[in-house]
Amino acid sequence: MPHQYDLLVIGDANPDVILGPLDGPLAFGQREQLVAAGSFTVGGSAAIMACGAARLGLRVAFAGRVGDDDAGRYLRDTLAARGVDTRGLRRDPDRPTPLTVVLTRGDDRAVLTSPGTLTAVSGADVPDELLAASRHVHSSSYFLQPRLAADLPAVLRAARSHGATTSLDTQDDPSDRWQGLDAVLAQTDILLPNAQEALRLAGPAASTVREAAELLAARGPLTVVKNGADGALCHDGRVLCTVPGLPVEVMDTVGAGDSFDAGFIAATLDGRPAPEALRFAVVCGALSTRAHGGTPAQPTWDEALAHLTRTGAPLV
């Protein structure tokens, strides 16, 4: 039976309030600081990735929790308007929707998150019918959702039993422990950290990003590492592939890694080999930085392909 969805995304959805750039340290003492730009938009690694995948033409469903509040209604409405099926996005009557404030300064940012429903999301929030109906299942923000993290190996195992492939973007670990991944990596086909996360996940045996990718790939998944302006690399346990960065006029890097994830998964589901998927993902991540917020500048499939053609590296 054909799958109803190309992609099921599991994880975090919250509004992002993005302010910046700061021209100096953040001032307390009730001082008011003015910044050049501010935006209120869809946030959460999983939600941004889902929007990017839908923008690329995938049939996308989402599973997770938001509060039964204005912020939760905003997210449900906005995700649906961007083509994401939100029937699996539950309303929690007891906890608020998560909220993130992003403060930018230069090419860096500080991220403050109130977790709200994130601490309550679990495997029970992922409907079996969505797992059975999806070609690929992606989960984000592993360390922010401890109950889901404990259940995720079983959830991804169930997805695989229905013939789906799986991927994981852990994002940052606020506790800085970076532990407990063995069981979930055993059920993960594609791991999608950034360079700093890859080094922390690989542990002290890795002194370079390439070594980290090789060590993580040895634990099972194809490891795809986002390396900012330096591009990206992937390792399948035998072969390393690297792709340079794409020069763009950057307005905001929030969500670029999630747009990269969407591009890599979309290209992979289109049957592209890993080196081609990596080039396509780099373009998707780079183009997403053209506007403030994680979703407004996400490219369509045709836009990303056209950009590859203009840069002399078209996909065949």
Residue 158 dihedral angles phi and psi, to the nearest 5°? -65, -40
Region of poorest pLDDT, from 14-28, 45-59, 87-101 = 14-28
- What are 165-204's pLDDT values in tens digits? 999 999 999 999 999 999 999 999 999 999 999 999 999 9
What is this structure's pTM? 0.95
pLDDT above 60 for 1: no
Closest-CA residue to 181 (of 212, 144, 143, 225): 143
Max mean pLDDT among 29-38, 67-76, 287-296 falls in: 67-76
Would you state the pLDDT for residue 316?
54
- What are 83-116's pLDDT values in tens digits? 999 999 999 999 999 999 999 888 788 999 999 9
CATH class of 5-21+36-309: alpha beta
Ranges of each domain in the chain: 5-21+36-309
Q: State percent of the chain over pLDDT 90.
A: 85
